[in-house]
Each structure stands twice: as structure tokens, then as C-alpha cells.
Structure 1
Amino acid sequence: MKIEIVPYTDRWPDEFQAIAQPIRDALGHVALRLDHIGSTSVPGLPAKDVIDAQISVAALEPVERIVDAFQALEYVYLEHITGDHLPQGADTLPEAWVKLFFRSKPGRRRANVHIRVAGNPNQRYALLFRDYLRANPLAAGGYAEVKRQLARYHPDDEDAYYDVKDPVCDILMAGAEVWAEAQGWEIGLSDA
């Protein structure tokens, strides 16, 4: 699918809520948190028109229960995506970056759902990254320009897009960590 960055739209938060409620109903107490993450969660930030949601769970087991719930909601389980990019210098094991990943079926509202273990660094990364960009328009603007240029030069090459974007996110996270320390940032309330 062609990578295209579009202007921010005020519909994205409501579209997240429309996606989150059926997930909350299907997973019940298994879902400790449901959060709107990614670029569509940052007001004013251009993005791919794909809603990203993070579901925080106590454990990724039993996988079958989670997979069955998402298949009933018409999501596709991408079994080959088993974890997140491990940032340079991360002092944790790759096992701490595991996840389950689901994508909406074609013809439905485009959405990616990341299931991560609460307390793991990849769960925190997504929330801190979002909150940092929300609080820092200069960082968000630079990130937007990187994404626009990547989409311009690699519209049909998702691997190239992410091979560059992931390290850029890691650079931004270095600033986010300093910001978090200075602000006393903590993970806030769940979005849904």
C-alpha cells in the first residue's frame, strides 16, 4: 500500500474512540489500558491515515483468547510481527519489546492495534513519544517533515520508510527522556 502523509484531522480522536469501545467490550478485564498512540494521536501532526491503538495487558497469554477476540472484531493477526524495533543503546533484552499486532481488514477503517505488556519498555515508549510530541511543537514539526520526505522518496517501500523513521524516533526519544525527567512525566490515565 502506498505511503501517504495527510494533514491532521479533528476526526482522528473520535475514530480512535469508535475503534476502542468494541475492543474494550471484547477483551474486558484483559485490557488494562487502551491508548491512542502514533501520529494520529498528536493534534496538528500530519500522519498516515491509520489509527494506531495500544492495548496494555498483564501478559500476552493466552494468545488464542486475544487472537479470537480480534478476529471476531474483523482484525487480521500479523503473526510475523512479534516485537518492536529495539532502540540503539536500549539496556533491556529484546524479549521486553515483544508484542502482538493486528490490522483492520480491508474495507474497514484503517487501524493498527499493538498489544503490549504493561510496564515493558515498548509500552512506555509509545506513550512517552506521543506525550512528548504533544508538548513540543518544534519536535513534532521536525518529525512531520521527516515523514513527509520519507513518503515522498519511498512511497512504495515500507521497509525503507521504517528503516529511516525508527532511528529518527529514537533520536526524538533521547529528547523525550530528558523532557520526561524535567517534567516528572508519568503515564497518565487510559484513553478509553
Structure 2
Amino acid sequence: MTGIVIVRADESWPAQFEKIAGAVSHLLGETAQRIDHIGSTSVPGLAAKDILDMQVTVGTEPELDDVVERMVAADWEVRPPRRDHPVPGLPADDVQWVKRLVVEPMYRRRVNLHVRVAGRANQRYALLFRDYLRSHPETAAAYGEFKRRAAALPIESVGDYADLKDPVCDLIYLPAEEWAARTDWTP
């Protein structure tokens, strides 16, 4: 078993994000075009693992490794994967899914820091997915229930849990694209 625990939404998650984003911004300076709170902890009322997901957006692929080097120098740890899963209907080109992932220094608040290049499919995906769930609380509630049930399954690893969630997230994302077109959504 993985020990994945899904908890009720915590109203302090946004404030926790702001504090950590400030520290990350200080470390990265202008290399970070933007730092966003993404994932389930960024959606009010959504049950989640108590791990903050953050996205640092950079301008070029070489800057991905620059961010990693700076974060490692500050005791953050590099983790796999080095790319996101391709989403049906979006560009299949591997370059659209490249990312870096670093996690918090030992004994600090749990954070997954995803580093992606501006304008690529995976960078947009994280922001649109978040904004769609924020605008569709019923969909967010259904997704939360799926995550609770998935976490209760005898899954071998966190990676297996993520692999199980990916197609469900894609099922949410595809209508999010239609919603974005209708509402003139911009990240």
C-alpha cells in the first residue's frame, strides 16, 4: 500500500502557498515568469493529499535546469518524472510535456514544485484544470470523491496512484478546453 491519505480541504492552503511562493520567488528571481498554486490544494473545498502543488513557469527549456540547480542549492530535492503524460487531443510532441519536479527540503511543509516552460501544453493544462475546477464545484466534488476511493485501493506506489488519476483528469480537462473557448479564459 502507498499510504496515500486524502484529507478535507484546508482553508489555510492558499496562505501556505503564498508564504512558500514568496520564498521560491526570492530564490529564483526573474527566472520565474510566474509562480502558481495548482493541483487540488488550489481548489477551494476540494479534498486532497496535504501536499501543496506549485508551478514555476520559465521562458526556455534551459531555464528548467537553472531552476533545479537553484532549488537544489537551497536543499530541495530533484524527483522524477521529467515529463508529464500526453493528453489525448493535445500535441503529442514530447517537448510539450517536458518538466522538472523538485520537492521541499527535509522536515519542511510538503511541496511538489513543477517547473514548466511558458506556452507549452503541460503548463497550460495545470492552470486550466485548476480554474475549471474552481468554476465548477460539482465537478470538483466528484473528482474529490474519485480521489478518496482511489486512495483506498491497494495501490503499490504514488506513481501508480498518479497513473490511475491521469485519465480521470483528462476527462475533466477536455470539457475545460471547451469552457475556456466559450469564456475567453486566459491563464
Label 1:164 to 1:155 Cα distance change in 2 as closer, same or farther (>3 A).
Answer: closer
Letter in 2 for 1:50: I
Letter in 2 for 1:184: D
Letter in 1 for 2:135: A
Letter in 1 for 2:163: D
1:150 counterpart residue number: 150
Supply the distance in 2 between the matched residues of 1:176 and 1:154 (Cα, whole angstroms).
Answer: 30
* Matched residues, number: 186
Instruction: Give a deviation string over 1:83-116, Cα, whole Å, max 9, x none.
Output: 1011123234011110111011331100000010
Supply the distance in 1 between the matched residues of 2:154 and 2:142 (Cα, whole angstroms).
Answer: 18
Letter in 1 for 2:116: R
**1:137 pairs with 2:137:** yes
Supply the distance in 1 between the matched residues of 2:178 and 2:143 (Cα, whole angstroms).
Answer: 17
User: Which runs of no fewer than 5 residues in structure 2 stay unpaired?
Assistant: none
Q: For residues 94-173 of structure 1, what are the structure 2 equivalents within 5 Å?
A: 94-154=94-154, 156-173=156-173
**1:73 pairs with 2:74:** yes
2:58 counterpart residue number: 57
**1:6 pairs with 2:4:** no
2:44 counterpart residue number: 43
User: Which runs of no fewer than 5 residues in structure 1 stay unpaired?
Assistant: 188-192
Label 1:6 to 1:114 Cα distance change in 2 as closer, same or farther (>3 A).
Answer: same
| Displacement after TM superposition at 1:184 (Å) | 1.1
Supply the distance in 1 between the matched residues of 2:99 and 2:62 (Cα, whole angstroms).
Answer: 11
Letter in 2 for 1:40: T
1:85 counterpart residue number: 85
> Residues 58 and 64 of structure 2 are in contact (CA less than 8 Å); yes or no, is this contact kept in structure 1?
no
Aligned-residue RMSD, C-alpha: 1.5
Letter in 1 for 2:99: K
| Displacement after TM superposition at 1:64 (Å) | 5.0
